[in-house]
Amino acid sequence: MADVARRAGVSQKTVSRVVNGEAHVSRAVRERVLREIERLGFLPNENARALVTRKSRRIGVLTTSPSYHGPAALLDGLERAAREAGYFVSIVHVHDGAARRPGEGQPGGRQPGAGEREPGAGGGGGGRPEDDVRRAVVHLVSQGVDGIVISAPVTGSADLAAAVPAGIPVLAMDFPEGGPRRGALVVANDDAGGARAITAYLLGLGHRTVHHLAGPPHWAATSRRLRGWRAALQAAGAPVPEPRHGDWSPASGYRAARELLAETGPSGMTALFAANDQMAIGALHALERSGRSVPRDVSVAGFDDIPEAAYLTVPLTTVRQDFRAAAGQGMRRLVSAMAGTGEQEGEELITPALVVRESTAGPLPPGGRRDGPQLRDGEGRP
């Protein structure tokens, strides 16, 4: 340590602070010390340091399949924020419980190929998703983590903070139904507010009502977005159609949109809000194949603002979630709680932004809509 301090031009105490990931060290000094540590081949003994400090400098993160945009973006933000704070991250992927019908891999019924996994295949391998999350919490506690982030999507996952022993701060990245529970920090994107805003926007364009493609019923985000959608319709005195549920995939959005078109007829649906952009993409494909023009015949909006949303043939109106801001704010509060300088519980909502593109417009006047051809199986782009 003395050699590192001499070469970096700092005190041994500063080197110790860098090695232990402590605050109050400038970025320039930290990088200079780390560079000299690398040159000298100095590797701190993590186990010995943990015995002395009783801190592992490790945070456990529970998340779901990285194939979903939201959880993947949030995990990336959490890892970045943890590294900046001097912590390592232990990741446990839990079963999300989503299940697709046979043949729903893509339009046309392609089954998963070798090496592919359906949602839910990478976690506990069955049983209730809540039980899988609970087992993962126990596993992380046994690894001696200093704090735990619960980013699992299942309804009620934030309530599992009560299962974590006292002394281990918990950050939940979602709000349970009925509001946050005691015993955890909660930092989340405002799903309900975003859904309410996009629905109100569509109603403001003149649509009589807005149909909804919801996510899997057991996901907490699904229930929050449903709540926001319903609240906007009820506030406007608009009819509340029965929502259709998908599994977040384009295939499920495609199937649900086809069912809605068959049910509502050529003039019964003028606006469609999908609970994520992937399902909205599937709905756009179904509308195109049915002969409906977007937004001339049907306006379509999504949620998340995935990178592809702005570059579709019809750029997608959507709700942008700032996953990096949520992850950064959540990690800052968790690190403060672990250091004993911040609150151990409390809640904070991150406000999403409405992104208006070309997939939404006001409805055509009566008689101005053209009837499209009948839906035909087995045709269209793959």
pLDDT tens for each residue of 20-36: 666 678 878 887 887 78
Least confident of 39-53, 111-125, 228-242, 296-310: 111-125
Query: Could you tell me if 241 and 317 lie in one domain?
Result: yes
Query: Could you tell me if 69 and 154 lie in one domain?
Result: yes
Whole-number average pLDDT of the chain: 80
CA distance 222 to 226: 6
Best CA proximity match to 301, nearest among 194, 378, 148: 194
- Provide the pLDDT for residue 137: 78
Query: Could you tell me if 204 and 316 lie in one domain?
Result: yes
Query: Could you tell me if 288 and 303 lie in one domain?
Result: yes
Residue 368 maps to a domain: no
Q: What is the CATH number of the domain that holds 36?
A: 1.10.260.40
- For residue 249, pLDDT over 80 is answered with yes
Query: Could you tell me if 169 and 260 lie in one domain?
Result: no
Residue 363 maps to a domain: no
Least confident of 184-188, 234-238, 369-373: 369-373
**Is 189 in a helix, a strand, or coil?**
strand
The model's pTM is 0.72
Residue 357 maps to a domain: no
CA distance 379 to 382: 8
- Is the separation of the CB atoms in 90 and 97 below 8 Å? no
CA distance 121 to 187: 27
Residue 205 maps to a domain: yes
Q: Which domain holds residue 78?
A: 58-97+129-189+323-350
Query: Could you tell me if 179 and 328 lie in one domain?
Result: yes
Query: Could you tell me if 248 and 226 lie in one domain?
Result: yes
Grade residue 55 by pLDDT with cuts at 50, 70 and 90.
low
- Identify which has the larger pLDDT, 211 or 177: 211
Residue 124 maps to a domain: no
Grade residue 182 by pLDDT with cuts at 50, 70 and 90.
low
Given 321, 336, 364, the domain boundary residue is: 321
Rounded mean pLDDT, 87-99: 74
State how far Cα 208 lies from the chain centre: 30
Domain count across the chain: 3
